[in-house]
A and B are shown apart, each in its own frame.
Chain A
Amino acid sequence: MSIGSTTPGAAAAGEQTREQVRPERATRRKKPLSEGKRQERRLGWLLCAPAAFVMVAVTAYPILYSFWLSLQRYDLKFPDEREFVWFENYVTVLGNGYWWSAFGVTMLITVVSVVIELVLGMGLALIMHRTLIGRGLVRTSALIPYGIVTVVAAFSWRYAWTPGTGYLANLVSPEGAPLTERASALAIIIGAEIWKTTPFMALLLMAGLALVPDDLLKAASMDGASAWQRFVRVMLPVMKPAILVALLFRTLDALRVFDNIYVLTAGANNTSSVSMIAYNNLIRGLNLGIGSTMSVLIFLTVAIIAFVFVKLFGTAAPGSDDGSKR
C-alpha cells in the first residue's frame, strides 16, 4: 500500500458506463413496484406477447403434434388403417437404407460445404472489408447470391450442367451427364450450396473483422508480424466469436438442404437429403406417420448438433447474453 499524493479525478473516465451498467434489473423484487416499473413490465409483456404467441403456436404445438403422429400408422391413402403403434415407425425408418443414405448425404453436404464456405467466406470477407477499390461493387455483387431465390439459382446450375444446353457441361464433361451420376451430382449440389451461401458466411465474418481494431494490426506489424501471422495470431482470435456464430448458423442451415436437391436431381441416384425424403414420404407418399417420424428425427439431430456446438464453444449462441440493455 502506498501513502503518498494521489490525484483524484484522473482515472474516472469509465465512470458513467460502470455506474449505468446495471440499471434496475429487478426480476425478483419483493418490494412493491413503483408505477413506472409496473408500467414497464406490463408494456414489455404486451409488446412481446404477439410475437411469442405466433412463434410458439406455429412451432411448439406442431412439433408435439408431429411426435404424436409419429407414434401412429397414418397413411392418407389408407385412412382406415390409422392406429397407434408406439415406436414402430422409428424402427421402420431407422432400419431403412434410404434413410441412412439420405442422412449420410446430408452430413456430407453439410460438412463439405460449410468447410469450403468458411475458407471462401473468410477470403471474401477480407476482400469486402479491406479492398482498396470498388468496395461498393464487390459488396453489391456478393449480396446477389445471398438474395437470389434458391430455386432460381438451382435452375441456373441445372441448365448449366445439362448436356448440350449448358456451358459448364460442355466445358467440363462434353460426353457425360454429370447430374445423373451420384458423385458428380453431389458435387454440383455442394457447389450450388456454396455459391448461394458463401456471401452470407462472408458477411457474418466481416462483422467479426470489423471488431479487429486497426491499431492492433498496426501494433502487430510494428512488432514484426508478417501478414499471415497477423491473420492467424491477431485477427482470428479476436474474430473467434463471429466465426463460431457463422459456423453454427451455416451448419444448421446446411442440414436443411432441400431446394437445390429438389431442382437439380429431385433426389435421383441416392442424392436425397433427409429433408428431401421426409418431403417425399409426406407429400408424395402421403404417409403422415413415417413423414412425422422423420421430422422428429431431423429435429432431434439438429437439436443435438446445436447443443454440442453451444456446449463445445460456450458462448457461440448470439443473443444468448439475454439481450441485456447496454
Chain B
Amino acid sequence: MADIVLDKVTKSYPDGTVAVHGIDLEIADGEFIILVGPSGCGKSTTLNMIAGLEDITSGELRIGGQRVNDKAPKDRDIAMVFQSYALYPNMTVRENMAFPLRLAKMDKQLINQKVEEAARVLELTSYLDRKPANLSGGQRQRVAMGRAIVRSPKAFLMDEPLSNLDAKLRVQMRTQVSRLQKQLGTTTVYVTHDQTEAMTLGDRVVVMRAGYIQQVGDPQTLYDSPVNLFVAGFIGSPAMNFLPVTLESGLLRSPLGDLPLSDRLGSVLSAADAPRKLIMGIRPEHFEDARLVEGTDGFTFTAPVDLVESMGSDKYVYLNVDTRGGDTPASTDLAELAADAGGADLPEQNGLVTRLSAESRVREGADARVWLNLDKVHLFDPSTGTNLTLREEVAAG
C-alpha cells in the first residue's frame, strides 16, 4: 500500500503531440480515485504512465515516496485490470490468478492458498479449473480482478474494467468493485469515460480534458460547483442546460425572458471584468412545474412542451426554447462537449431538458408554466469557460 504522486507529469510523442500536460496529482494511501474525461483526454495515457507501460516524458512519478519513472512495470508492484480483461486464454482461471505469484517465485503452497482465498472472495471457487473461454463476461471480469488482488500490490490500476459488461451487470459489478476496494483498502486508480461510474465509485474524481486536469474533487463538489463549462457539462445526466444570456440594465436577457438579478448574481456581475455576454447553466432538476411551487421565490416562464418522458419517480420534460439564441457567444468548451456526445453527427440539439415532479400535469404539445430556481443557476464566462458564480462563492468564503 502506498500513495501515488504525479509531479508535473508530461507525456509527449516524437511527432510533437502532447497527450498529458504536466499534471499534478496526489493520491492518498487507500484512496479510490477516478480519472474521467472524453476520448483523448489523456486519462488512459496517465494510467499507463503510472503502470509503467508508457514512458514519462518529463516530471516525476512517486509511488510510496519512491521515484519510479525508470522502473519497469514488474518492479513497481502494482496490479492492473484491463478493459479486455487480458486473461491468458491458454491458462485456467487458477493458473491465470497464480501467474503473477509464480513469476514472483512464491512458494507453491502459498500460491494455492492465496488463489483459493481470492477465489472465495470473488465467488470463483467453482470455476477455478475452467479456461477463460468458458466463462461469462462477469466471471471473466472477476478473474481479472482476482489476478490483481492475489498479490496484494501497492495499488490497483483499472482501465475501464466494466465497460465490456452489459448495463445491468455493470451496475452490479460497480457495487462489488466499490465494496472490494473498501475491504482491501488498497490505493486504486480507475479510468472511465462514464461520468455515472465516476460519480458513484470514487472518493475523488479527476476530470480531464485534452491532457489537462480540469477539476479534482469529491463527486458532490464536482456536481454542485463545477469550475468551468466543461466540467459542468460533463458531469451529470441528463446534462446541464446552457443558455446564452446578456446583461442589460440590471436584467439578464435570456431566451426564457428577462431574469432579475438576485443578490448572489448581482455581486458576481458587478465585478469589473465580468463580460456582458454570458452563458447560463441550469441543471434539469432546478426546474419545477410552476403549479407545484406557487409562492416560492424564483423565476417563472412559459414554454411549449416538446416531449414528456415519464420515469415514474419524476418526469423529464423537453421544452421548446431557442437555446441557441441569435448571437450566441462562442465557446470552445461547449463545442467540444457537443462533439464528445456525438453532437457533431446529430442534428443540432435545441431546447431545454427539465426534470419535474411526477405530479406535474404538463402535456406534450401544450404550453407549460415552469419555475426556475435562480439560486442554483451558474454563470460562465464564454471566452474562458470559467464559472463566475463559483468565484463569488469562493470569495464569499
Contact = CB atoms under 8 A, between A and B. Distances in A.
Does A pair with B? yes
Interface of A: 1-12, 14-16, 18-20, 22-29, 31, 33-37, 39
Nearest to A33: B55
B152 interface: no
Contacts of B343: 2, 6
A19 B13 contact: no
Nearest first, the 5 A-B pairs at minimum CB distance are A11-B342, A12-B193, A2-B348, A4-B349, A6-B341
A64 B325 CA distance: 74
A22 B160 contact: no
B349 A2 contact: yes
Contact of A1 (B45, B163, B328): B328
Contacts of B334: 1-3, 6
Interface of B: 13-14, 17, 38-40, 43-45, 52, 54-58, 69-73, 83, 159-160, 163, 193-196, 233-235, 237-244, 279, 284, 323-325, 328, 330-331, 334-335, 337-338, 340-343, 348-353
Nearest to B83: A16
A11 B195 CA distance: 12
B159 A8 contact: no
A3 B196 contact: no
Nearest to B235: A8
A20 B84 CA distance: 13
Given A2-B349, A9-B193, A16-B44, 6 more contacts: A4-B348, A4-B350, A5-B349, A11-B341, A15-B163, A19-B40
B69 A3 contact: no
A23 B54 contact: yes
Contact of B195 (A9, A19, A20, A36): A9
Given A8-B340, A12-B39, A36-B72, A1 B159 contact: no
A10 B237 CA distance: 10
Contact of B14 (A4, A15, A27): A27
Contact of B71 (A14, A20, A35): A35
A10 B350 CA distance: 18
Main secondary structure of the interface of B (DSSP, over half): loop
Contact of B13 (A4, A22, A34, A36): A22
B321 to A, nearest CB: 9
Main secondary structure of the interface of A (DSSP, over half): loop
Given A7-B238, A25-B14, A26-B14, A12 B340 contact: yes
B237 A8 contact: yes
Contact of B239 (A7, A12, A33, A35): A7
Nearest to A19: B44
A15, A31, A39 interface centre (most CB from chain B within 10 Å): A15
Contacts of B337: 6, 8
B39 A15 contact: yes
A9 B325 CA distance: 26
A1 B328 CA distance: 8
16 contacts: A1-B331, A4-B351, A5-B349, A5-B353, A6-B337, A6-B349, A7-B341, A11-B342, A12-B39, A15-B44, A18-B40, A20-B44, A24-B54, A31-B57, A34-B55, A37-B55
B237 A9 contact: yes
A7, A11, A20, A25 interface centre (most CB from chain B within 10 Å): A7
A34 B69 contact: yes
Nearest to B238: A5
A36 B72 CA distance: 5
A64 B187 CA distance: 62
B56 to A, nearest CB: 8
Given A14-B39, A35-B71, A25 B195 contact: no
Given A15-B39, A18-B40, A8 B323 contact: no
Contacts of B342: 10-11
B73 A36 contact: yes
A5 B54 contact: no
Contacts of B72: 35-36, 39
A12, A14, A29 interface centre (most CB from chain B within 10 Å): A12
B70 A1 contact: no
B242 A3 contact: yes
Nearest to A16: B83
B242 A25 contact: no
A27 B330 CA distance: 40
Nearest to B351: A4
A3 B238 contact: no
Contacts of A2: 323-324, 334, 338, 343, 348-350
Given A15-B39, A34-B69, A3 B341 contact: no
A3, A11, A23, A27 interface centre (most CB from chain B within 10 Å): A3
B314 to A, nearest CB: 16
B37 to A, nearest CB: 9
B54 A10 contact: no
